[in-house]
Amino acid sequence: MRLTVRTMLAWIDGVLTPSDQAALGEKVAASDVAGRLVERTKAAVQNPGLSAPAPIGRGLADDANTVAEFLDNVLDDERLAAFERVCVESDRHLAEAASCHGMLAEILREPGAIAPVDPRMRSRLIDRSKHPSADVVNVQPAAVAAPAARHRRRRRTRGAWGAAAAAVVLLVALVAALVWTLGVSGRRGGDRPGDRELAADATPIPAVGQDVENAMVEPVRDAPVEVPSAEPALPSTHDDHGESLAGDAREPDRSSSAVSPDASTMAGSRPVEQGEAMAIVAVPMQPEPSETSVESAVEAPHAVADDGRADSIVTGEGGPLLHRRVRGDESAWASLSAGAVLADREQLLAPPWCLPVFIVDGVRIRLGPSTLAMLSHDADGTPRLEVVFGRAVVSSSSADARIGIVAGGLSGVLSGMLRNPAGVEVVLVRADGAATGHRTAAVIAGDGDMIWRQTTDTGAAIDQPLIGVRAETLLAAHASIEWSETDPAAAVITPPAATPSWLAASDHIPRVYGRAVESLATALAEHDDGAIEIALHAMAGDRRVENRMIAAATLAMLGDYRDLVAVLGAEGPDELSEAQWTDLEAAAVPLALARGENAAAALAEAFRAAWPEATGEVLALLARGMSDEMLESGGDRTLIEALSDGHVAVRRYAIRRLVEIAPPDDRHRGIYRADRPEAMRRDGVAWWASQRERGRIRRGELEPKE
């Protein structure tokens, strides 16, 4: 017997045969995910403060008919898989199904609770239904009344169960009365086209102990059927992460039904065998299609491009979003304006200090500053976001939202409580002095539990999960899955920790750069024909220093480091303040060095081209940093000498590296400032020189060597 939501509920309520009860118990004990789900189910049912879905809710997750059909076991395979996934991800829906299942299980133990109602009681019920009073609750058919059952707290005393059984008796009796009344009315008024007749005999409820094996889909263990995509994958990243990526705007043909089939049709087309389900007598309501909130993300809808998707829209929030526009054999970066429609496959870039937002299939995605990402869709239509480097925050108001994620060696589908934003991060790590670096990646849960199911980077089922992480795992709130390129076949789940600041405050653009972000968006919008480099070069010479900084850093992300080097090395009226220089260097240089050998070489060449040969070499060396071996072989002397260099950029790099290698105490922390006049720098140079003489310009050397 498979472990599914239905069989789990049957196991909890003890309606299985002794052998099946024992077999399911062993499976629950052997699965951490199942054990936690059982505890969540019990806690949700007992939680009086948990709200219930609206009785007239629409869509798969909130339509009360879905609960009734689920308990009747007449949901088709596709909707059953989706509904069970919603139950796994949402305590509210899980408690709804579990409460109703528990009440029906109690009826199985008390067959007399559903005995026929005598004519006198039936007459009274009909009379009260025609003349309702304030103290009488209108009882509806089971499909509509199912959500109300959530509020009946399960009590273990016999008296409480008797009250629940009485309520169900009242429900069944009124339904029978309504059936009888409608039947009389139909006979009196004659048959009319469109009238729906109710079956006189309800589908029988199986006796306790009968097999409920056929629950069809296991949401925790079994993935939906994956159809291999015939479309080529996105171009792979080279050694230089993201430097040579090319977009592919082709869109596969994917069609899907927008409206679910009528519940009564499904019930009739798939006969339910005796013992397969616990039936609920109900009049199915016509399901209504779910509403989409995508169009509300922008002020007005925009026409869909030939290669675009109507459900993939740029909101215009958080600054400009760039994409690689492909035309024939040529490609160029272009800006996407508010309301622009994304192609099925996109290569996206968020400039420094920008937090652009776009919405795909109801999932809201916010890219972090200096982020390169790839957008595509799996064969089943699930949107997939690959973060090449940088950060992204994903969220959705839909209870059954899901999104594919690729982050370094982490590849899977994230679902669950995406109302609470989740984070994705890929960091390029490079040791000082090293020519290349490696990647680390993390998928971080927000304030709610989430489900991570490992897949290939195209959404297909995996042959072998990463070591240390199950193929499908429940990721607790504030926990994370972490991966490193130094051990690519493994990953680790870290326990819940403090939410990273970039995830907790993902909507925050530094105020000092807010106007620069607006200026960048305006400049790029005027050159949305793919020639944005022209606008960026012009902006790099703007009179406002913040505009120069953001333009130079954006060009650096595109592989052009000339303006970056010029702005970093500017002196006189155009010289950056210490804080501005630090912000710009941190936003652009470490990323360029860590992306790979080609990017690092291009940056070094830009330093050499902008400065005299010796100075350019020193700047390239200081930007790259020094290893312990380099320090021991004379690098410490180079750092001390650079403190007296005639160029402020050299001095700034030198003091930064010295402070990183051998942090001074509080007394000497501010003894040297690179932007001070020479006379005011002498004492600082002398102090750092004394530290070198004592052998302290080494990492971790807090005491002088003997």
Instruction: Give kind and range of the element (H or E) at residue 177.
Output: helix 158-189
For residue range 449-464, what is the model confidence (pLDDT) as tens digits? 899 999 999 999 999 9
Q: What is the pLDDT of residue 14?
A: 84
Q: What is the pLDDT of residue 55?
A: 62
- In angstroms, the CA 359 to CA 365 distance is 6
Per-residue pLDDT for 605 more than 80? yes
Kindly list the distances between the CA atom of residue 501 and the CA atoms of 17, 108, 642, 697, in Å, as whole numbers in the listed order.
52, 52, 35, 32
Instruction: Give kind and range of the element (H or E) at residue 535.
Output: helix 532-539
At 80, the pLDDT band (50, 70, 90 cuts) reads confident
Q: What is the pLDDT of residue 72?
A: 81
Do 162 and 32 belong together in one domain?
yes
Do 460 and 530 belong together in one domain?
no
Do 126 and 20 belong together in one domain?
yes
Do 497 and 521 belong together in one domain?
no
Do 451 and 434 belong together in one domain?
yes
Smallest CA-to-CA distance from 267 within 246, 282, 247, 251 is with 282
Which stretch, 47-51, 53-57, 111-115, 444-448, has highest mean pLDDT? Answer: 444-448
Kindly list the distances between the CA atom of residue 424 and the CA atoms of 89, 181, 343, 376, in Å, as whole numbers in the listed order.
19, 59, 22, 16
**Domain limit, last residue, from 170, 190, 210:** 190
Do 176 and 38 belong together in one domain?
yes
Per-residue pLDDT for 691 more than 90? yes
For residue range 19-31, what is the model confidence (pLDDT) as tens digits? 888 888 888 888 7
Per DSSP, helices labelled H in 247-327 are 263-269
Tokens of 691: 């530290």
Neighbours of 134 (CB within 10 A): 5
Tokens of 613: 């040969």
Mean pLDDT, all residues of the chain: 75
Percent of the chain exceeding pLDDT 90 equals 45
Q: Is the dihedral of CA 452, 453, 454, 458 positive or negative?
A: negative
Which residues have C-beta within 8 Å of that of residue 614, sequence separation ≥ 6?
Answer: none
Q: What is the pLDDT of residue 58?
A: 54
- More confident of the two residues 389 and 170: 389
For residue range 292-309, what is the model confidence (pLDDT) as tens digits? 222 222 222 333 344 556
Do 582 and 628 belong together in one domain?
yes
Per-residue pLDDT for 256 more than 50? no
Tokens of 603: 């940056």
Do 10 and 109 belong together in one domain?
yes
- In angstroms, the CA 361 to CA 380 distance is 13
Least confident window among 254-263, 426-435, 552-561, 679-688:
254-263
Do 500 and 547 belong together in one domain?
no
Per-residue pLDDT for 145 more than 80? no
State the DSSP string of 472-518. Answer: EEEE-TT-EEEEETTSTTB-EEEPP-PPPHHHHTTTPPPGGGHHHHH
At 15, the pLDDT band (50, 70, 90 cuts) reads confident
- In angstroms, the CA 197 to CA 182 distance is 9
Dihedrals phi, psi of 513, to nearest 5 degrees: -110, 5
Task: Specify if 289 maps to a domain.
Answer: no
Neighbours of 10 (CB within 10 A): 23
At 112, the pLDDT band (50, 70, 90 cuts) reads low
Do residues 670 and 659 lie in contact, with contact meaning Cβ atoms separated by under 8 Å? no
Do 456 and 526 belong together in one domain?
no
Kindly list the distances between the CA atom of residue 229 and the CA atoms of 40, 234, 360, 456, 464, in Å, as whole numbers in the listed order.
36, 12, 20, 12, 20
Per DSSP, helices labelled H in 569-695 are 578-594, 597-610, 613-624, 628-630, 636-642, 648-661, 678-693
SS3 415: strand
Q: What is the pLDDT of residue 175?
A: 52
Tokens of 438: 């490696």
Q: What is the pLDDT of residue 172?
A: 54
Domain count, the chain: 3
Which stretch, 45-49, 55-59, 540-544, has highest mean pLDDT? Answer: 540-544
Kindly list the distances between the CA atom of residue 108 and the CA atoms of 105, 213, 234, 277, 279, in Å, as whole numbers in the listed order.
5, 17, 55, 12, 11
Tokens of 663: 């942090």
Whole-structure pTM value:
0.61
Q: What is the pLDDT of residue 577?
A: 94
Do residues 407 and 441 lie in contact, with contact meaning Cβ atoms separated by under 8 Å? yes
For residue range 639-658, what is the model confidence (pLDDT) as tens digits? 999 999 999 999 999 999 99
Per-residue pLDDT for 349 more than 80? yes
Do 638 and 550 belong together in one domain?
yes
Chain centre to alpha carbon of residue 127: 53
Range list of β-strands (E), 291-329: 308-314, 321-327
- In angstroms, the CA 545 to CA 575 distance is 9
Task: Specify if 71 maps to a domain.
Answer: yes
Residue 536: DSSP 8-state: H
**Domain limit, last residue, from 477, 504, 531:** 504
For residue range 511-543, what is the model confidence (pLDDT) as tens digits? 889 999 999 999 998 876 657 999 999 999 999
Rounded to 10 degrees, the C-alpha dihedral 362/368/372/377 comes to: -10
Strand pairing of 383-395 and 402-407? parallel
Q: What is the pLDDT of residue 115?
A: 63
Which residues have C-beta within 8 Å of that of residue 679, sequence separation ≥ 6?
Answer: none
- In angstroms, the CA 73 to CA 75 distance is 6
Q: HSE-up of 557 (CA within 13 Å, CB side)?
A: 29
Task: Specify if 124 maps to a domain.
Answer: yes
Task: Specify if 262 maps to a domain.
Answer: no
Stretch 115-122: mean pLDDT, rounded? 70
Least confident window among 50-54, 68-72, 184-188, 439-443:
184-188
**Domain limit, last residue, from 142, 159, 190:** 190
- In angstroms, the CA 142 to CA 333 distance is 57
Task: Specify if 437 maps to a domain.
Answer: yes
Do residues 375 and 538 lie in contact, with contact meaning Cβ atoms separated by under 8 Å? no
Per-residue pLDDT for 206 more than 50? no
At 7, the pLDDT band (50, 70, 90 cuts) reads confident
Tokens of 536: 């960026």
Strand pairing of 472-475 and 480-484? unpaired
Stretch 142-169: mean pLDDT, rounded? 46
Per-residue pLDDT for 237 more than 80? no
Per-residue pLDDT for 199 more than 60? no
Task: Specify if 255 maps to a domain.
Answer: no
Three-class secondary structure assignment of 14-28: CCCCHHHHHHHHHHH
- In angstroms, the CA 581 to CA 576 distance is 6
Q: What is the pLDDT of residue 322?
A: 94
Which stretch, 95-104, 398-407, 646-655, has highest mean pLDDT? Answer: 646-655
Using only the alpha carbons of the chain, give its radius of gyration. Answer: 32
- In angstroms, the CA 577 to CA 446 distance is 37
Task: Specify if 702 maps to a domain.
Answer: no
- Looking at the DSSP assignment, which residues form a beta bridge with residue 386? 374, 406
- In angstroms, the CA 22 to CA 13 distance is 13
Q: What is the pLDDT of residue 169?
A: 54
Domain range spanning residue 174?
Answer: 5-190
Q: What is the pLDDT of residue 677?
A: 93
Smallest CA-to-CA distance from 511 within 583, 582, 585 is with 583
- More confident of the two residues 55 and 616: 616
Task: Specify if 253 maps to a domain.
Answer: no
- In angstroms, the CA 421 to CA 78 distance is 27
Tokens of 114: 């559903």
Instruction: Give kind and range of the element (H or E) at residue 87.
Output: helix 77-89
Per-residue pLDDT for 315 more than 70? yes
Per-residue pLDDT for 197 more than 60? no
Q: Interhelix angle for 545-557 vs 578-594, to 10°?
A: 10
Do 466 and 494 belong together in one domain?
yes
